[in-house]
């Protein structure tokens, strides 16, 4: 009997305003054009419950432990209901953020003890991590200007101060340094076509296609 090969789990990370959404859309189109099944999703969110938790997380002030637990609660649901079934069915799952974001924002940005994040990760997805993570790296001042230029009302995280985003950025870069095989760090100040080429090169290196 022929078994379906497991899909690939690719995540996109970076501070707010890094330009992930455009690149996720472009990669999804490129993969679909090659006949691959692609699922685009995001965190917090990705399920009906997760989207409700997202609304709370982006809007209400809360203790950092609560914030981390809700992020992982949404993630548990996301994995069980969406990510795991899609991967098992052979789809490529492209997620706008995953657990690296909790290390960057809650641990790096809001001062959550890393051991608490480790414990939640070990509970929610032991032994599981993305196959590839693109980190969109850019200075917080450039990112803040991009967020402001959208004219949209900033959410609770986007209203944080510049030094918060520098801590988030540093936490992401540290994770990338520790796991060079999984991460591909992109210069997100480059024009969109250049970034798309970097994403394509990151995938080509993996020789999955």
Between residue 143 and residue 162, which ones bind ligand TYD under the rule CB under 6 A?
A: 155, 157
Comparing CA positions, the residue from 56, 71, 60 lying closest to residue 107 is 71
Measured CA to CA, the distance from residue 209 to residue 198 in angstroms comes to 16
CA-to-CA dists, residue 90 to 2, 35, 39, angstroms: 13, 12, 10
User: Is residue 101 at the binding interface for ligand TYD, with CB under 6 A as the rule?
Assistant: yes
Q: Tell me if 31 contacts ligand TYD by CB under 6 A.
A: no
| Binding status of residue 97 toward ligand TYD by CB under 6 A | yes
For residue 96, the minimal CB distance to ligand TYD (Å) is 5
Binding to ligand TYD by residue 94, rule CB under 6 A?
Answer: no
Among residues 183, 147, 192, 189, the alpha carbon closest in space to that of 165 is found at: 147
Contact 172, 13 (CB under 8 A): yes
The least CB distance from residue 207 to ligand TYD, in Å, is 29
DSSP state of 60: S
71 lies in the site for ligand TYD, by CB under 6 A: yes
Q: Is 78 a binder of ligand TYD (CB under 6 A)? A: no
Tell me which residues touch ligand TYD (CB under 6 A). 16, 42-44, 71, 96-97, 101-102, 105-106, 155, 157
């Amino acid at each position: 009997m022929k078994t379906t090969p497991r899909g690939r789990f690719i995540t996109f990370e970076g501070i707010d305003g890094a330009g992930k959404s455009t690149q996720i859309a472009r990669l999804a189109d490129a993969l679909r054009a090659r006949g691959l099944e692609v699922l685009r999703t995001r965190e917090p969110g990705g399920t009906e419950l997760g989207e409700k938790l997202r609304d709370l997380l982006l809007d209400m002030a809360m203790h950092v432990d609560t914030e981390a637990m809700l992020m992982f609660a949404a993630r548990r649901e996301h994995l069980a209901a969406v990510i795991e079934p899609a991967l098992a069915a052979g789809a490529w799952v492209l997620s706008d953020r995953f657990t690296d974001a909790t290390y960057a924002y809650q641990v790096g940005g809001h001062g959550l003890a890393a051991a608490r994040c480790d414990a939640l990760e070990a509970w929610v997805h032991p032994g599981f991590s993305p196959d590839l993570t693109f980190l969109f790296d850019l200075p917080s001042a450039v990112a803040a200007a991009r967020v402001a230029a959208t004219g949209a009302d900033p959410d609770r995280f986007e209203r944080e101060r510049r030094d918060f985003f520098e801590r988030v950025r540093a936490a992401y870069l540290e994770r990338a340094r520790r796991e060079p095989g999984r991460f591909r760090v992109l210069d997100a100040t480059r024009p969109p076509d250049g970034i798309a080429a970097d994403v394509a090169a990151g995938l080509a290196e993996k020789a999955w296609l």
